[in-house]
Homo-oligomer: A and B are copies of this chain.
Amino acid sequence: MSRPSRRSRGTVTVQDVAREAGVSAMTVSRVVNGGSNVRETTRHAVLEAIAKLNYSPNSAARSLAAGEATQIGLLYSNPSAAYLSQFLIGALAAARRAGCHLVLEACEGERADEQAEATRQFAATSVEGVILPPPLSEAAPVRAELETAGIPWVSVAMGLPPERSLNVRIDDAAASAAMTKHLLDMGHRNIGFIRGNPNQTSSAERHRGFVEAIEAAGLDVKAMPVEQGYFTFRSGIVAAERLLDRKNPPTAIFASNDDMAAAAVGVAHRRGLHVPQDISIVGFDDTALATTMWPELTTVRQPIAAMAESALTLLLARLRAHRAGTNDKLEEQVLDFELIQRESCGPPPGAGKPAAGRAARR
On A, residues with C-beta under 8 Å from B are 6-7, 9, 11, 54, 56, 58-61, 63-64, 67, 70-71, 80-82, 84-86, 88-89, 92-93, 95-96, 99, 101-104, 106, 124-126, 233, 237, 259, 262-263, 266, 269-270, 287-289, 292-294, 323
CB pair B92–A81 under 8 Å, yes or no, is: no
Chain B residues near A85: list those with CB within 8 A. Answer: 81-82, 84-85, 88
CB pair A92–B82 under 8 Å, yes or no, is: no
Tell me if A's interface is mostly helix, strand, loop or mixed.
Answer: helix
- Which of B58, B93, B269 touches A270 (beta carbons < 8 Å)? B269
The answer to whether residues A64 and B60 also contact, given A233-B292, A288-B80 and a CB cut-off of 8 A, is yes
- Which of B7, B124, B288 touches A81 (beta carbons < 8 Å)? B288
CB pair B266–A294 under 8 Å, yes or no, is: yes
Q: In the complex, how many angstroms separate the beta carbon of A77 from the nearest chain B beta carbon?
A: 13
The answer to whether residues A59 and B9 also contact, given A81-B288, A259-B292 and a CB cut-off of 8 A, is no
CB pair A64–B67 under 8 Å, yes or no, is: no
Q: In the complex, how many angstroms separate the beta carbon of A96 from the nearest chain B beta carbon?
A: 5
The answer to whether residues A103 and B99 also contact, given A269-B269, A269-B270 and a CB cut-off of 8 A, is no
Q: In the complex, how many angstroms separate the beta carbon of A246 from the nearest chain B beta carbon?
A: 22
Question: 7 additional contacts, CB 8 Å, given A58-B70, A237-B294?
Answer: A6-B67, A7-B67, A56-B125, A81-B81, A85-B88, A88-B89, A266-B294
How far does the alpha carbon of A93 sit from the alpha carbon of B102 in the complex, in Å? Answer: 9
Most chain B CB within a 10 A radius of its CB, from A6, A85, A92? A85
- Which of B81, B93, B126, B263 touches A56 (beta carbons < 8 Å)? B126
Q: In the complex, how many angstroms separate the beta carbon of A343 from the nearest chain B beta carbon?
A: 13
CB pair B96–A86 under 8 Å, yes or no, is: no
The answer to whether residues A101 and B9 also contact, given A82-B81, A266-B294, A288-B80 and a CB cut-off of 8 A, is no
Chain B residues near A56: list those with CB within 8 A. Answer: 125-126
CB pair B104–A92 under 8 Å, yes or no, is: yes
CB pair B89–A96 under 8 Å, yes or no, is: no
CB pair B63–A294 under 8 Å, yes or no, is: no
Residue of B nearest to A266 (CB): B294
How far does the alpha carbon of A96 sit from the alpha carbon of B104 in the complex, in Å? Answer: 10
How far does the alpha carbon of A247 sit from the alpha carbon of B146 in the complex, in Å? Answer: 63
How far does the alpha carbon of A125 sit from the alpha carbon of B89 in the complex, in Å? Answer: 18
- Which of B86, B104, B125 touches A93 (beta carbons < 8 Å)? B104
24 A-B pairs, CB-CB below 8 angstroms?
A9-B67, A54-B124, A59-B60, A59-B101, A60-B60, A60-B61, A64-B64, A80-B292, A81-B81, A81-B82, A81-B288, A82-B82, A85-B85, A88-B89, A88-B92, A89-B104, A89-B106, A96-B101, A96-B103, A101-B101, A263-B294, A266-B293, A269-B270, A289-B292
